[in-house]
Amino acid sequence: MADSKRALQKVLAAALERVDAQLIVTSAKGVAAALSSLFDSLAAQTVAITNERELVDFGAVKAVVARSATAVVAPPSEKRAAAEAAEWKQRLAGADVGITSALAIAAETGTLLLPPLSPDQRAVSLLPTHHIALLSEDRLVPDIEALFAVWKKSERTDGNAVFVTGPSRTSDIEKELVLGVHGPQSLHVLLIR
Amino acid sequence: MSYANRPKELKRQLGSALRTRSSDPPFKRNTRKAVSARADRVAEWPDFEERRARATARRQEAIDTLAELHGQLRQHWAKNGITVHEARDDNEARHIALSIVRAAGAKRVLKSKSMLSEEIEINDFLEQHGIEAVETDLGEYVVQLRGEAPSHITMPAMHLSRQNIGRLFAKRLGVEYTDDPPALTQIARRTLRRQFLSAEVGMIGVNFAVAETGHLATVTNEGNGRMVTTLPRVVIALLGWERVTQSLEDLAQLWQLLSRSATGQRATVYLNLTGGPDPEGGCPQQVHVIVIDNGRKRIHADREMREVLRCIRCGACLNACPVYQQVGGYPYGDVYPGPIGAVFTPAREGVRSAPDHPFASSLCGACEEACPVSIPLPKLLLALRKQRTELRSAFDPERGLWRSFRTVMGSRRIYEAATAFARGVQFIWPGGPKKMVIPGWTDHRDPPVFAKRSFREQFDDRNAKPEGPENG
């Protein structure tokens, strides 16, 4: 059991590397430290995070508030006036890092499944320059088929969901790979033991 | 950026493209790269052929039960707050989209890449009505700035070099010239970011609508599909009538086949599933689906041609096609170039509207081999050629020629008499048979010359006086 889990993690690490994303495996206690060193390496000033229950439980929200110069905490859902909504988008777009949870990740391709979230929270994995996804290692599944099975068993199977495989990319200019077109330029997966 | 010149121009366009192309055109390099990337992804999947066969069968089942699947979709859409519109043709689709944009009080639409939106030529129409349509896929953005149409269904700017794009950005965006792809990409990112953040209406093409859940699935690599479904108040989703899949499991398979076939990725960066407007009143507040027929039901009514509706628009057949590799997308004069376009367009609009398209192929079969849903493109091209030929009058010289050919080949006596006559004639012909001119045929090749004596005559001679060691 432990062996197959390790083998799957190795497959995941290779898959993420292929799509120019990074895997960091840490203990629950190490979350704050891992985030802190990531913020350093990304020179992050402003950090946005969704206040999903899991991220609160992992202590990630607390770590972000304590560690970053400016923290933007995205609430589950809030009705906003147009002007306020526009300002909120600007704040997220100005963030260096966005942190979200994930329902699951597929080892074979390194694909994350992001759950249906409020519009404010969905933008956290999209607008900031870098994206960090936090999830517990028991959310690691073998492949995309298994990822869809997780989605089918989840609470809101008709909601908005996003599958993410690596940072935003294009090869539209002479088929040369460039990262970070409209979405994040880098993706870091924090897998928690 | 109009496709209006299509019908009779194809032959001329292909000819001039061949004569004027450079020795190493970008589309040749780019298709080569795409072909090898796909081959790598196929090779690493030991069960690729099984997956392909399964996807083929499931796509065909979906096409055969479309009415039922659309019924399911409508139930989910009603429940999830998605508004449905039906468009019989491109004109209806354009007007529906315009009325949605006007009702939203918007002056600009931000678009994620959609070939269907090209098919209904919506950008020009919106512009004519005072609404700016902004393409946000990098390649589409580039061709839009140039006032062109995309030259490939998944790589819109593949006919351009980095220098072309550098000069374009310098001229149109007022930035300093660079031909460095990352720098060019950053310029586009900055320019379009501002527009995303203030966008009121977003427009997407739907890769697949999932009957089981009602999801509108959009595949992108850049994240623009997510931008235009997450940030604006109103989302307009264009759905080709046939782009429906049964279940989430089917979507999982088709997405992977699409990724591997189109770009040689294992999975595209984003697969975005739009379920409907935000239940709490956030963005998007409205999601509109426009289900577009535009000739698809006509194809569906034709049992044989129906198979082309399985297409998932990966572009693998374009990349594999020796004709496309030589000339790129533009000479086809249509939104869908290459083998799929040569079938889809005449099938959708009637062979009269694109009479030369079925002939723009050597029938080598590379397209069918590359197709992830095994569309028998050469077979369909032949069927369309037949339709095309049947349109010709009974007195058409080519039909007459083939009728005579059949008569001659059908009888030995007539055949021998005809060839004897031809052999006789060619030696009294002034200048000999090589001087004979058959327009369109002898431009590039010599007419065949008959031997002095036929094979049968020579054979009979040899049998009459046997030779060889065993008789010696």
| Of A79, A152, A178, Cβ closest to residue B182 | A178
Tell me how many helices (H) and strands (E) chain B has. 21, 10
Task: Find, in chain B, the residue whose alpha carbon is nearest to that of A178.
Answer: B182
Rounded Cα distance, B460 and A48, in Å? 92
CB contact under 8 A, A182 and B189: yes
Q: Using a CB-CB distance cutoff of 8 angstroms, which residues of chain B are in contact with residue A168?
A: 221-223, 269-270
Section A58-67 average pLDDT: 87
Q: Using a CB-CB distance cutoff of 8 angstroms, which residues of chain A are in contact with residue B197?
A: 86, 89-90, 93
**What's the residue count for chain B?**
472
CA A17 to chain B, closest CA, distance in angstroms equals 13
Rounded Cα distance, A98 and A89, in Å? 13
Rounded Cα distance, B350 and B342, in Å? 12
Instruction: Tell me whether A16 touches chain B (CB under 8 Å).
Output: no
Q: Taking a contact as any Cβ pair under 8 Å apart, which residues of chain A between 130 and 169 contact chain B? A: 144-145, 147-148, 151-152, 156-169
Q: Which residue has the tokens 């900031």?
A: A128
Rounded Cα distance, A58 and A172, in Å? 39
Per-residue pLDDT, B51 = 97
From its phi and psi, is residue B280 left (phi > 0), alpha (psi between -120 and 50) or beta?
Answer: alpha
pLDDT band of residue B1 (cuts 50, 70, 90) is: very low
The DSSP call for residue A109 is T
pLDDT band of residue B467 (cuts 50, 70, 90) is: low
pLDDT band of residue B443 (cuts 50, 70, 90) is: confident
* Contact of B239 with B233, CB cutoff 8 Å: no
Q: Strand B234-240 vs strand B201-205: parallel, antiparallel, or unpaired? A: parallel
Does pLDDT of B3 surpass 70?
no
What would the DSSP string read from start to end of B20-57? Answer: H--SS-HHHHHHHHHHHHHHHHHHT-TTHHHHHHHHHH
Q: Taking a contact as any Cβ pair under 8 Å apart, which residues of chain A between 71 and 110 contact chain B? A: 77-80, 85-86, 89-90, 93, 108-109
Distant-in-sequence, close-in-space partners of B375: CB < 8 Å, separation ≥ 6: B307, B308, B310, B311, B317, B340, B343, B368
Output the average pLDDT for chain B: 90
In chain B, the domains with their CATH numbers are 10-298 (3.40.50.10420), 399-462 (no CATH)
Per-residue pLDDT, B432 = 66
Q: Which amino acid would we find at residue B368?
A: E
Q: How many CB pairs (< 8 A) connect A and B? A: 176
ipTM of the complex: 0.95
Per-residue pLDDT, B8 = 60
Give the pLDDT confidence of B18-45 residue by residue, as tens digits: 887 777 777 888 888 899 999 999 999 9
CA A81 to chain B, closest CA, distance in angstroms equals 10
CB contact under 8 A, A183 and B184: no
Rounded Cα distance, B105 and B101, in Å? 6
CB contact under 8 A, B266 and A184: no
Q: Strand B286-292 vs strand B234-240: parallel, antiparallel, or unpaired? A: parallel
Tell which of A78, A169, A173, A176 to mutate to test the B interface (max B CBs under 10 Å).
Answer: A173
* Contact of A126 with A98, CB cutoff 8 Å: yes
Rounded Cα distance, B407 and B388, in Å? 22
CA B189 to chain A, closest CA, distance in angstroms equals 6
| Angle, CA B217 vertex, CA B216 and CA B218 arms, to 5° | 120
Cis peptide before B284 (omega within 30 of 0): yes
Q: For residue A118, count CB atoms less than 10 angstroms from its CB and return exposed for 0-12, middle for 13-18, buried for 19 or more.
A: buried
| Angle, CA B315 vertex, CA A174 and CA B348 arms, to 5° | 135
| Of B263, B267, B272, Cβ closest to residue A162 | B272
Rounded Cα distance, B87 and B94, in Å? 9
pLDDT over 70 percentage in chain B: 95
Output the average pLDDT for chain A: 90
CB contact under 8 A, B189 and A80: no
pLDDT band of residue B472 (cuts 50, 70, 90) is: very low
pLDDT band of residue A41 (cuts 50, 70, 90) is: very high
Kind and range of the H or E run holding B459: helix B455-464
Distant-in-sequence, close-in-space partners of B55: CB < 8 Å, separation ≥ 6: B253, B254, B257, B372, B373
| Of A77, A164, A174, Cβ closest to residue B269 | A164
Does pLDDT of B471 surpass 60?
no
CB contact under 8 A, A170 and B139: yes
CA B109 to chain A, closest CA, distance in angstroms equals 17
CB contact under 8 A, B278 and A161: no
Q: Where are the beta strands (DSSP E) in B44-185?
A: 82-87, 108-111, 132-135
Rounded Cα distance, A128 and B395, in Å? 69
Give the pLDDT confidence of B205-216 residue by residue, as tens digits: 999 999 999 999
Tell which of B76, B221, B251 to mutate to test the A interface (max A CBs under 10 Å).
Answer: B221
Query: What's the number of CA atoms in the CB half-sphere (13 Å) around residue A120?
Result: 23
User: Six-digit token pair at B42?
Assistant: 């196929």
Q: If you average pLDDT over each of B11-15, B144-148, B182-186, B422-426, which comes out highest?
A: B182-186
* Contact of A15 with A108, CB cutoff 8 Å: yes
Give the pLDDT confidence of A76-108 residue by residue, as tens digits: 766 666 677 778 888 899 999 999 999 999 999
| Of A77, A161, A170, Cβ closest to residue B222 | A170
* Contact of A167 with A131, CB cutoff 8 Å: yes
* Contact of B236 with B257, CB cutoff 8 Å: no
CA B139 to chain A, closest CA, distance in angstroms equals 5
Beta bridge partners of B82: B287
Q: Which residue has the tokens 């990740």?
A: A105
Give the C-alpha distances (Å, rounded to integers) separating A159 from B172, B220, B275, B368. Answer: 40, 19, 5, 37
Q: Where are the beta strands (DSSP E) in B206-335?
A: 208-210, 216-220, 234-240, 244-245, 270-274, 286-292
User: What angle do helix axes B181-198 and B138-145 make, rounded to 10 degrees?
Assistant: 90
Q: For residue B97, count CB atoms less than 10 angstroms from its CB and return exposed for 0-12, middle for 13-18, buried for 19 or more.
A: buried
* Contact of B356 with B38, CB cutoff 8 Å: no
Question: Which of B261, B203, B192, B216 is closest to B51 using CA atoms?
Answer: B261
| Of B33, B214, B266, Cβ closest to residue A175 | B33
- Which phi and psi (to 5°) does residue B244 adopt? -120, 135
CA-based R_g, chain B, Å? 27
